Amino acid sequence: MAEIPDIEEPEAPDWIKSYRFIWHHIKREGSVVRGAPGAIILAVVIVGAIEYWFLGDRYEDRYSGQISGLQATIQDQQAMIQYQDARLGMIAGKETSTATVGEARFRLVGLPRHDMDGHYGVNAYFQNIGSVAAIGDVHTLKSEIVDKTLSDDEVDKRFASFEKGEKVMEKLDVTSQTQPNDIEWWTQVSNTIRSNDVDDQINHGKKLLYTFVRIKYRDDGLPKGKWRVTEVCVFTFGMSADHRCAQHNFIGLSN
């Protein structure tokens, strides 16, 4: 009689192999799981924390631009509210002047930032809180991104350069007037700073954005050759509000 050859058992499909592996693993490790519940709970907490961090970081990257945009819009609206409040006070006859009688004084109202076709822009709103007209104002408005906080000497040099530029404008003998409680405003659109630079380097980076303003103006109470001056120096970093520089935030006299 012929010998019947052994027939090999057919190989199980992959899904059956996976099922068997998982079943044996659970069966073998079940006693370990039951014997160390604290360790298992700790492992689950750690895995959950890692997953939370991963998802949070992922969605922060996705929506950070939108969040920074909303915060910039809020800052702009706050500045505009200040501006409109000053205007309403003027219309209603509200007393806003704290100056000595016979003086013109420009005071900062707001510095809203905005996008101008991809370039960074800033508006500077100033109100004449004095009791007489400000005559022939000459102004400088500049913004600058820097790697670290400027020293007092570095800030001094910048304002000194603004004074040199004012000499040219003074010779034009401008006679335009800003009456008491009126608001004057100027716009700067930077040729070197783009809106993306502010978002990348300031809002989400480690650099600082400085804004410098200097205004010279006359009034009828000043002797010839004398000017009143208002200076503003502020900086911001991250998504913080403006911080005042240690120097160059005042209203005073100049030659």
Domains observed in the chain? 97-254 (2.60.40)
Say how far apart CA 98 and CA 100 lie, in whole Å: 7
The residue ranking higher by pLDDT, 110 or 73, is 110
Arithmetic mean of pLDDT, 27-53: 54
10-24, pLDDT tens digit by residue? Answer: 565 665 665 566 556
Cα distance between the two ends of the chain: 128
Kind and range of the H or E run holding 14: helix 14-35
CA-wise closest residue to 79 among 43, 46, 126:
126
Instruction: Note the pLDDT of residue 107.
Output: 95
- Mean predicted confidence (pLDDT) in 132-136: 94
Q: What is the pLDDT of residues 55-102, one digit of tens each?
A: 555 544 545 555 545 554 555 555 555 545 554 554 444 444 444 458
pLDDT band at 243 (very low <50, low <70, confident <90, very high): very high
The per-residue DSSP string of 207-244 comes to -EEEEEEEEEEE-TTSPTT-EEEEEEEEEEETTPPPEE
Distance CA 92, CA 95 (A): 9
Could you give the count of Cα atoms lying within 13 Å of 22 in the half-sphere of its Cβ?
6
